Amino acid sequence: MMRGLETPLSQLRKQVFVEVARVAYESENVNNDIEAIPYKVTPGDAPRFRESIYRERAIASERVRLAMGMSLRPEDKPVHITDGVEESNISEKYYEPPLMQVIPSACNFCDDNKYIVSNQCEGCLAHPCMEVCPKGAISQVNGAAVIDQSKCIKCGKCKSACPYDAIAKKERPCSMACGVKAIETDKHGRATINTEKCVSCGMCMVSCPFGAIADKSQFFQLIRCMKEGGEVIAEIAPAFAGQFGPDATPRNVKAALLKLGFSEVYEVALGADIGAVSEAHHYAAHVVNGDLPFLLTSCCPSWSMLAKRTLPDMVESVSTELTPMVATARSIKKKHPNAKVVFIGPCAAKKLEAMRTSVRSDVDFVITFEELNAMFEARGIDPQNTPGDSSMHDATGAGRGYGVAGGVAAAIESCIKEYYPDVEVKIEHVEGLAECKKVLMLAKAGKKNGYLIEGMGCPGGCVAGAGTIAPIAKAKVEVEKIVKNSTHRLPAKELEDIELD
């Protein structure tokens, strides 16, 4: 696991983001300054990470484009890094689909689903690997087992039988991380993403040790918007706890956001509270009496997208409650109708949710904690050393618990028990898209009737989202501290009556 580790790759990603942010804040000649970024990332004439400085700069160029929301350049045409900058250099939300992209020049052509014999092989007399192979793909050459890849059917029986654990299964890290099997192979042997299957969770992105997968960003356009003045309001997801250093308290983070130029700061946990109340009422009214076989939470966009694809005939069982991001944004726009609302969170898929046309999101920009951290750095702001006058008091412990896997279900369960003490509630939560898919199939087969099911696309929940920067275990502890220290444990039963249309 690379999550939460400070690696050359995480430093490289941050450097690109910081340089793009500096251009947005300071540049008087955007085209020239964008063209210069690969040379800042890879200075001098000696490569640091790849075999060639030219390859390093080519990869950096593509990262810059994605950081500005632009698409990758075609491989067979001469196109400048800044081609399309005019469309991107705006103060409005900008996006060219798809969200997740494999940078071809960065891909390592990793073997996928291949069994190989390592030097651990002892050439044993029993050679059980040969005996169990159903295709006769294994032979002994010079006293060691060898697998004929043209015959191998990838069944793994040889690996299971080897007493020395000398047979390894090679898989692409991105493929292993993708719970919906959206990672495929192009004609050159590089990873590619099947956009028909992808639900944009970003687990492939954070699992690739070469940084060959990246999502598109909106922070360049956000910075341009903030420079124009006017109300720009931040709504920050509860998983922010612990993301900006061990000493960055909620009070510090709020102060840092205000110093960055946001007019006000709201907790997305407010929308989570609204959702928890609403879904508690929904469960008691429609699942308990059998109107619906089960109720699926909807706050994780990747889980919600997977559920609707897996259960197309049962979409009414997916909660129609507004997600915390949207509910909070709508409540902000009721008070500040002319403001721009910026969702700051751990999730790549929220960038797509904010742009869907089926439900008005009222979210003008979405940025991740990683992108916000680069904005802080570009402006010389350290949240750990930014004193504030006030903390955030928009939500209860229930809504703040949404940042950790199981927190959504726990909040709704607590609300049900508080509001409907005679109702028996069945709860299940799953995390990671592979496990999410399993529980959806069980639900489809009628094995989860009567249940409230929480699904989280990222193993660990929002604290493990693709846009986080803190170690998952530490981030979980910090969220739990904020939940425990909340003034109020549960939202009022009447909170769902807030008019958000």
pLDDT above 70 coverage of the chain, percent: 99
Instruction: Provide the pLDDT for residue 498.
Output: 66
Sole residue written with tokens 């399993």: 438
Give the Cα-Cα-Cα angle 73, 78, 80 (nearest 5 degrees). Answer: 65
Residues 6+ apart with CB under 8 A from 446: 293
Per the structure block, which two tokens stand in for 108?
Answer: 């390592």
Instruction: Provide the pLDDT for residue 356.
Output: 86
Percent helix / strand / coil, the chain, rounded to 5: 45, 10, 45
Secondary structure of 139-158 in the HEC alphabet?
EEECCEEEECCCCCCCCCHH
Dist. CA 338–CA 85, nearest whole Å: 27
pLDDT band at 93 (very low <50, low <70, confident <90, very high): confident
Task: Dump pLDDT digits (tens) for 204-251.
Answer: 999 999 999 999 999 999 999 999 999 999 999 999 999 999 999 999
Q: What is the DSSP letter of 461?
A: S
Task: Count Cα atoms within 13 angstroms, Cβ side, for 345.
Answer: 35
pLDDT band at 327 (very low <50, low <70, confident <90, very high): very high
Mean pLDDT across 331-337: 96
Task: Specify the DSSP element, H or E, that contains 196.
Answer: none
Task: Map residue 102 onto helix, strand or coil.
Answer: strand
Instruction: Provide the pLDDT for residue 501.
Output: 62
Average pLDDT, the chain: 94
Mean pLDDT across 111-134: 96
Dist. CA 37–CA 85, nearest whole Å: 14
Per the structure block, which two tokens stand in for 13?
Answer: 């990603």
Tell me the whole-structure pTM to 2 decimals: 0.94
Dist. CA 451–CA 440, nearest whole Å: 12
According to DSSP, the β-strands at 264-267 and 232-236 are parallel
On the question of a cis peptide bond just before residue 312, with omega within 30 degrees of 0, the verdict is no
Give backbone dihedrals phi and psi of 447, rounded to 5 degrees, phi first: -90, -5
**How far, in Å, are 271, 424, 462 from residue 236 at the CA level?**
11, 33, 12
Q: What is the DSSP track for 399-427?
A: HHGGGSTTHHHHHHHHHHHHH-TT---EE
Contact 450, 287 (CB under 8 A): yes
Per the structure block, which two tokens stand in for 109?
Answer: 């052509």
Residues 6+ apart with CB under 8 A from 410: 398, 401, 427
Secondary structure of 330-373 in the HEC alphabet?
HHHHHHCCCCEEEEEECCCCHHHHCCCCCCCCCCCEEEEHHHHH
Task: Dump pLDDT digits (tens) for 56-72.
Answer: 999 999 999 999 999 99
Contact 317, 294 (CB under 8 A): yes
pLDDT band at 495 (very low <50, low <70, confident <90, very high): confident
Task: Dump pLDDT digits (tens) for 448-486.
Answer: 999 999 999 999 999 999 999 999 999 999 999 999 999
102 beta partners: 213
Instruction: Provide the pLDDT for residue 280.
Output: 96
Dist. CA 390–CA 90, nearest whole Å: 33
pLDDT at 497 over 80: no
Per the structure block, which two tokens stand in for 258?
Answer: 């205000």
Domains of the chain: residue spans and CATH: 8-109+174-216 (3.30.70.20), 114-170 (3.30.70.20), 229-496 (no CATH)
Mean pLDDT across 152-167: 97
Instruction: Provide the pLDDT for residue 3.
Output: 77
Contact 235, 268 (CB under 8 A): yes
When computed from its CA atoms, the radius of gyration of the chain, rounded to whole angstroms, is: 25
Dist. CA 132–CA 189, nearest whole Å: 29
pLDDT at 1 over 60: no
Residues in the chain: 501
Dist. CA 136–CA 151, nearest whole Å: 7
